[in-house]
Amino acid sequence: MLKDTIIIVKQEPDGTLACWDVELYQCDNCSKEFDASIPHYADGDHHYCCECAFLKGLISENEYLDYGSGFNSHMFRAYVENREVKIKYGKYTPEELRQRRNKKARERYQKKKKARGD
């Protein structure tokens, strides 16, 4: 939600004054404050920080990594564990690694079972 609008006044080197409005938002989920220049998810009157938007499924993993965390989505993976966002270097999340290992173990077992003639 929009929390406040502040006016910033800056004096330029030539002596002129520059003024602009900055909108301050508050995350509807965690109450974190951020201004309009920080990447966030907005849906009508609702505003969410990137972490809360990812937790709620409003933005994708790539959007979270590229805009919300500062990590490169080609080298890192983001996933949710215990209601927290975790970032891991590499191609697979821990759950995907477990699934791949189990699949390979099943394939090895089937191959050995077939070779024994069972």
Q: Give the number of domains in the chain.
A: 1
pLDDT of residue 101: 93
The pLDDT of residue 104: 94
The parent domain of residue 79 ranges over 2-116
Ranges of H-type helices in 16-93: 50-56, 61-63
13-22, 39-48, 78-87, 104-113: least confident range? 13-22
pTM exceeding 0.85: no
Cβ-Cβ contacts under 8 Å for 16 (sequence gap 6 or more): none
25 alpha-carbon distance from chain centroid: 18
pLDDT digits (tens, 9 = 90+) for 23-81: 888 888 888 888 888 888 888 888 899 889 999 899 998 888 888 787 877 888 888 88
DSSP helix/strand/coil, 69: helix
Residues contacting 21, CB < 8 A, separation 6+: 5, 6, 7, 8
